[in-house]
Amino acid sequence: MTSPESQNNVQSSQQAESAGKIMNTEKTKKSAASLWSLMKEDLKHRRWMLIISSVVQGFAGPIVVLFMLSSLKKARDYGYYSYAYNGGNTELDLSAIRELVDGVTSDYMPIMQLIIAVVGALIVGIFGYRHLFNRRMTDMVNSLPVKREKQFSVIYLNGFLIWFVPFVISMIISMSMCAFETLGFGFGGLIAARCFTIIIGSLFCFLAVYTMIVLAVVLAGTVFNAILNIAFIGFDLILGFAVLYCLCDNYYDTFVRLPFSFETIFWVSPPISACFCGYIISRGEELLAELLHNGAYVFELIMTIAITVMNYFLALFIYSKRKSEEAESGVSNKPYRFLVRTLNAIYAGLLVSFIISEIVSTFYSSFAGWRIFFSAFFTVLTYGLIDVFQGRSFKAFFAHWKQMIAVTVVMELILVVFIYDLTGFDTRMISRSNIKGAVIHYSNSFRNSSSSDYYLVPGEDGCMFGPWYDGSFRSGYDIEIDADLAYDIISSRKLYFENEGQYLYDPVTGETVQRWRYSDQPWDERPFCQYVTIYADRKFGFDFCRGYRVADPDVIDEILLSDGYKENHFKVETGEVGYPMSISLQMSDGWDDGIEIPYQYIPMIMEAYYADFEENYSVEYLDAPMGDIKLNLRYRIYYSEEDYRNDRYSSNRFTICPVEEDSRTMEVLKQLVRMGVIDWSVWVSGGDQNLNDWIEYYEYYEDDYYPAY
Amino acid sequence: MIEIRGVVKNYDEIRALNEVSFDMPEGQVFGLVGTNGAGKSTLLRCICGVCKPDKGEIFIDGEPVWENPDVKEKVFFISDDQYFFPGTTPNEMASYYGTMYPKTFSKERFDQLMDALSLDRKRRVQTFSKGMKKQLSIMLGIASGCKYVLCDETFDGLDPVVRQAVKRLFIHDMDEAGITPIIASHNLRELEDICEYVGLLHKGGVILSKDLGDMKLGIFKVQVVFRDASSLDTVKNNCNVIAEDHRGSLTTLTIRGQRTELETIITSQVPVFYEVLPLTLEEIFISETEVLGYDFAGITK
């Protein structure tokens, strides 16, 4: 007995056979699948991305701007009210609108659109090429009569459009709303210009990040590995630079800095450089001008573009050559797979060594063995784990054990080169011909302070409350000296440099002498050690900065006292006029957030404060001759000459905390309040009153008008 | 015609195809049979341009297939587990393939085939049973109008009636439109019904590739009873015996050679009884692979 279903099947099969007789009559010669038709087909299966993109852009654009505009309306209402009440004040209205325009076009939109661009690039990049993670889908796609280059381009273009079209529409609507609301105030041009720069900046950011993600994806066989690849391609080179810096800083005593800054090498990391450049472009105006006038930024911009173009063609090449069987497997491309394992395993080993040396001082050589051991351990661990991720099996941990051993050995060699300075970086003197220039940087290095509080007084050659200390340089400044002179200083005198502040080494004689800080060694008795930094112009074109610490201040004295040297290098600059660089006003002994006094009023206050000081405090009270007294205004602690030199806390910023007896100072401050220089409404942390209360308090005494406080 | 020349394909350490060379003539149903892991699917994936051989080349109608859209337009690959987009319907899949095969795909034919099989064209494919998905992929392949339709384990999961219908469709289209179905399968009885030409794969290599009729003419099963053992030895020494089995006095020999020569040798030993029987495709397959050591007789010991 046959079931109705099978009867139906029999009938179906007969019909199917008859249908077979209807031969393809539509074999008209059409052209091969066009790019546009392929894009339409691809887009059909990625509708959800387009919907998400549109919803996000709709919310982040017009809807948020609508909220912001409603706040503008309130501000304008307030402005009109003021206008009527005060008899005319259009300034308020204009400033509120300007604030909103800036808020939307300069603060909110650039950042929000960059965030959307990065997240959008991640989503369309990973899911656009998702067939690479599915063997069945790969089989289907690759069996189709479409060249792989074309497939790649279709997916790439669609991914871009999925982000770009809703973005541009959202931007146009948002900016139109903004322009409409501010109609008649002359902001139309500004809004249009910023709309343009935001589009360009976000476009730049999106393309750079998107292309890098596509490259990461085509090198992966699973989503997990794609994400690992993104981390690797996006950040591994930056990590490499960081590791190099840490190693040099940690193991080389004379190391000062790399021949390049991290800022200038951001371009190796598309997510960082793209966001950085994209933000600057989006913000437009001043920032864009800065970008175009700063050589390092221009370099970064150009390199980011170059890297993006390179990533695109690399991704296209790998996609077209990619083996179908790599779907659902770990990472494709054997050399790349090896590169990922090797680099990260080496980084891991070196970083672990660095961390250990940070925990226990590098000085203890007994820990070198442990560093070597743990570095090797973590190299093996990292190598094996990446292999596990790539091979998608725990058994893959030792799948490449020979390579694992080789990589561990290489890592150990690198580490040993740094630990024992096998390149002789520290002990090798820079030849005279290689010295490009030198600067002397003053610091209380042996007392672990980075600056000092010596200030010039108009008409006097000395510091504020005492004579000039001849053996010191002005704090916070690097003073250039001749290369020859620098070489003479380093090579002919006893020079020492510091290792973690704990021992000294003589690079000339090669002797290592352990000198403990705060011991009775001669150089430790002198609190003002000089620090000489030598810039060496290396033969291969990089400026590699080396620093030597000069333990004998007589060397520096010799330079200082030479004819004309002081006049040339200690000029009083405009706005400083021998006073502190800044003054912070505080009400009590609290540390934080004093009120900054604009620099043009500093002399006035300092003169008054100095006079109050002289009047209110007697020499007897301080038990020392007045000429030797130093005042640390921050603490209001008084030191003798000897103590003052040993003061560890010093700064080129004065914090003043006047009291009732300091009448001159108070008068100056009151003037400043009346002039609107000091904002009376600002609360001063660390105190229990605001400045307004304070001024009133003194006015009470002064005018004898107000009731008792 | 599909020409396979010295194709080698490795998956990391595993060699899936080892110097495979043979031709697949057009206008005939070609059966690709082989042991498990012999490389049948790999070979099909190479033919349709999914995989690139590590060595050797594949030509379709004289042109290399790899990254050649003009040639790939002649090939439709129905994998053993065809992929359908999530949430898609048969109509949408037809539209997709219509875009990919704009010169040959016939939506009209697709609709008629789907209606004939009572498959709902607007229903989501993910709600289809395994067999219905298989039917859909075959219908897409046929509607694509491609000259070569590569089927990997296509008949698995189809009920006997649909299987029969598909066979008829293939034969019909072969006659009418000149398509060449290439079917990889383990089910040799299914292939025997439909295939005219067979390629036999084992451990990545080709054991033989012949017209099925010729193949059957060159190998025979002989059931014979001799009076003494020396007669059997004489036959074995003079014939290319590739397998033998004894049940009491009855000896079954699988012998390669011409039937007349074979009968001359056997009759010269004056057997008590003998009968020459043709081999089925399955028996040929077992015999040929046994020769190469593909034998699990010891599994019951």
Is B164's Cβ below 8 Å from some Cβ in A? yes
**Alpha-carbon dihedral sign for residues A473, A477, A482, A485:** positive
Supply A334's token pair: 């054997």
pLDDT of A686 reads 43
pLDDT of A205 reads 94
Domain boundary among B160, B180, B211: B211
| Shortest Cα–Cα distance, B285 to chain A (Å) | 29
DSSP state of B294: -
Total domains in the fold of chain B: 2
Report the candidate in B216, B168, B173, B213 with the shortest Cα–Cα distance to residue B194: B168
Report the candidate in A667, A668, A693 with the shortest Cα–Cα distance to residue A680: A693
B134/B150 Cα distance (integer angstroms): 13
Q: Which of B99, B130, B135, B169 to mutate to test the interface with A (most CBs of A within 10 A)?
A: B99
A159/A43 Cα distance (integer angstroms): 9
A118/B59 Cα distance (integer angstroms): 45
Burial A164-190 (b: 16+ CB within 10 A, else e): bebbeebbebbbebbbebbeeeebeeb
Q: Label residue A409 by pLDDT band (50, 70, 90).
A: very high
pLDDT of B92 reads 93
Q: Which of B65, B73, B103, B162 to mutate to test the interface with A (most CBs of A within 10 A)?
A: B103
Burial A383-397 (b: 16+ CB within 10 A, else e): bbbbbbbbbeeeebb
Q: Are the beta carbons of A228 and A332 closer than 8 angstroms? A: no
Do residues B40 and B134 both lie within one domain?
A: yes
Mean pLDDT of chain A: 70
Amino acid at B176: E
Q: Label residue A620 by pLDDT band (50, 70, 90).
A: very low
Q: Label residue A641 by pLDDT band (50, 70, 90).
A: very low
Instruction: State whether B161 and A12 contact (CB < 8 Å).
Output: yes
Do residues B86 and B21 both lie within one domain?
A: yes
Is B115's Cβ below 8 Å from some Cβ in A? yes
Q: Work out whether strand B148-152 and strand A637-639 pair parallel, antiparallel, or are unpaired.
A: unpaired
3-state secondary structure at position B183: strand
pLDDT of A346 reads 94
Of A9, A30, A323, the CB nearest to B161: A9
- What value of ipTM does the predicted structure carry? 0.83
Supply B204's token pair: 């990545």
Residue with the bigger pLDDT between A411 and A10: it is: A411
CATH number of the domain within which B148 lies: 3.40.50.300
Is A23's Cβ below 8 Å from some Cβ in B? yes
Task: Give the CB-side neighbour count of residue A265, counting CA atoms within 13 A.
Answer: 14
Is position B252 within any domain?
Answer: yes
DSSP per-residue letters across B242-254:
EEEEEETTEEEEE
- CB contacts < 8 A, A to B, total 147
Of B88, B108, B162, the CB nearest to A9: B162
Instruction: State whether A25 and B108 contact (CB < 8 Å).
Output: yes
3-state secondary structure at position B51: coil
A384/A371 Cα distance (integer angstroms): 20
Could you read off the pLDDT of A108-141 as tens digits, one per residue?
888 999 999 999 999 999 999 988 888 888 889 9
Q: What are phi and psi of A152, to 5 degrees?
A: -60, -50
CA-CA distances (angstroms) from residue A212 to A46, A506, A674?
A: 20, 48, 58
pLDDT of A230 reads 92
CATH number of the domain within which B235 lies: 3.30.70.120
Q: Label residue A587 by pLDDT band (50, 70, 90).
A: low
Domain boundary among B182, B211, B240: B211
Instruction: State whether B103 and A146 contact (CB < 8 Å).
Output: no
Is A145's Cβ below 8 Å from some Cβ in B? yes
Do residues B206 and B252 both lie within one domain?
A: no
Instruction: Return the residue of B nearest to A42 by Cα.
Output: B96
Q: Label residue A568 by pLDDT band (50, 70, 90).
A: low
DSSP per-residue letters across A8-36:
HHHHHHHHHHHHHHS-------PPSPPHH
Is A657's Cβ below 8 Å from some Cβ in B? no
Which positions in chain A touch B165 (Cβ < 8 Å)? 12-14, 16-17
Helices A285-293 + A270-283 axis angle, to 10: 130
β-pair partners for B114: none
Instruction: Return the residue of A nearest to B170 by Cα.
Output: A20
Residue with the bigger pLDDT between A79 and B65: it is: B65
B159/A2 Cα distance (integer angstroms): 13
3-state secondary structure at position A534: strand
Of all helices (H) and strands (E), which one includes residue A646? helix A641-646
Helices A223-251 + A368-391 axis angle, to 10: 170
Q: Are the beta carbons of A464 and A610 closer than 8 angstroms? A: yes
3-state secondary structure string across A490-507: HHHCCCCEEECCCEEECC
Q: Do you know the residue count of chain B?
A: 301
Do residues B27 and B133 both lie within one domain?
A: yes
Instruction: State whether A6 and B96 contact (CB < 8 Å).
Output: no
pLDDT of A380 reads 94
Q: Please compute the mean of the pLDDT values over residues A329-338 and round it to a whole number.
A: 70
**Alpha-carbon dihedral sign for residues B181, B184, B190, B192:** positive
**Alpha-carbon dihedral sign for residues B1, B4, B9, B15:** positive
Domain that holds residue B290: 218-295
Which positions in chain B touch A18 (Cβ < 8 Å)? 116
Query: In this model, does residue A165 exceed pLDDT 90?
Result: yes
Burial B219-258 (b: 16+ CB within 10 A, else e): bbbbbbebeeeebbeebeebbebebeeeeeeebebbbeee
Instruction: State whether B52 and A148 contact (CB < 8 Å).
Output: no
Report the candidate in A482, A474, A490 with the shortest Cα–Cα distance to residue A441: A474
Is position B300 within any domain?
Answer: no
B57/B67 Cα distance (integer angstroms): 12
β-pair partners for A518: none
CA-CA distances (angstroms) from residue B214 to A430, B24, B69, B210, B253?
A: 87, 15, 35, 7, 19
Residue with the bigger pLDDT between B280 and A267: it is: A267
Share of residues in chain A with pLDDT > 90 (%): 20
Interface of A with B in 44-63 (CB under 8 A): 44-45
β-pair partners for A457: A460
Report the candidate in A334, A327, A342 with the shortest Cα–Cα distance to residue A386: A342
pLDDT of B67 reads 86
pLDDT of A381 reads 94
> What is the separation of C-alpha A158 from the centre of its chain, rounded to a whole number of angstroms?
33
Q: What are phi and psi of A327, to 5 degrees?
A: -65, 140
Residues A27, A32, A36, A41: what is their CA dihedral angle, to the nearest 10 degrees? Answer: 60
CA-CA distances (angstroms) from residue A355 to A47, A362, A366, B132?
A: 48, 10, 16, 61
Long-range contacts of A448-454 (CB under 8 A, 24+ apart): A448/A501, A448/A648, A449/A648, A449/A649, A449/A650, A451/A475, A451/A476, A451/A650, A451/A651, A451/A652, A452/A650, A452/A652, A453/A580, A453/A632, A453/A650, A453/A651, A453/A652, A453/A654
Of B81, B159, B176, the CB nearest to A136: B81
Could you read off the pLDDT of A650-676 as tens digits, one per residue?
344 566 666 666 788 878 887 887 777
Do residues B161 and B222 both lie within one domain?
A: no
Residue with the bigger pLDDT between A440 and A499: it is: A440
A445/A22 Cα distance (integer angstroms): 94
Instruction: Return the residue of B nearest to A147 by Cα.
Output: B67
Instruction: Return the residue of B nearest to A29 by Cα.
Output: B103
Query: In this model, does residue A685 exceed pLDDT 50?
Result: no
Of B49, B102, B116, the CB nearest to A12: B116
Domain ranges for chain A, please list them: 36-321, 333-419, 432-569, 582-703
Do residues B87 and B153 both lie within one domain?
A: yes
Which positions in chain A touch B85 (Cβ < 8 Å)? 45
Of B11, B108, B142, the CB nearest to A26: B108
A60/A47 Cα distance (integer angstroms): 20
Instruction: State whether B67 and A147 contact (CB < 8 Å).
Output: yes
Instruction: Return the residue of A nearest to B177 by Cα.
Output: A23
| Shortest Cα–Cα distance, A31 to chain B (Å) | 7
| Shortest Cα–Cα distance, A325 to chain B (Å) | 7
Q: Work out whether strand A630-632 and strand B14-24 pair parallel, antiparallel, or are unpaired.
A: unpaired
Do residues B239 and B207 both lie within one domain?
A: no
DSSP state of B297: G
pLDDT of A705 reads 36
**pLDDT < 50 positions in chain B:** none
pLDDT of A491 reads 61
Instruction: State whether B70 and A145 contact (CB < 8 Å).
Output: yes
Instruction: Return the residue of B nearest to A43 by Cα.
Output: B96
> In this predicted structure, which of A29-38, A406-415, B68-77 has the lowest mean pLDDT?
A29-38
Q: Where are the beta strands (DSSP E) in B65-204?
A: 75-78, 148-152, 180-184, 197-202
Is position B301 within any domain?
Answer: no
Using a cut of 0.90, tell me whether the model's pTM lies above it: no
pLDDT of A552 reads 53
A132/B215 Cα distance (integer angstroms): 42
Is B99's Cβ below 8 Å from some Cβ in A? yes
pLDDT of B17 reads 86
B221/B287 Cα distance (integer angstroms): 10
Do residues B179 and B231 both lie within one domain?
A: no
Do residues B206 and B227 both lie within one domain?
A: no
| Shortest Cα–Cα distance, B38 to chain A (Å) | 17
Could you read off the pLDDT of B135-174 as tens digits, one per residue?
999 999 999 988 899 988 888 888 888 888 888 888 888 8
Place of tokens 């392929």: A38
> In this predicted structure, which of A17-21, A34-38, A451-455 has the lowest mean pLDDT?
A451-455
Could you read off the pLDDT of A494-513 as tens digits, one per residue?
444 333 333 333 444 444 44
A61/A99 Cα distance (integer angstroms): 18
Query: In this model, does residue A423 exceed pLDDT 80?
Result: yes
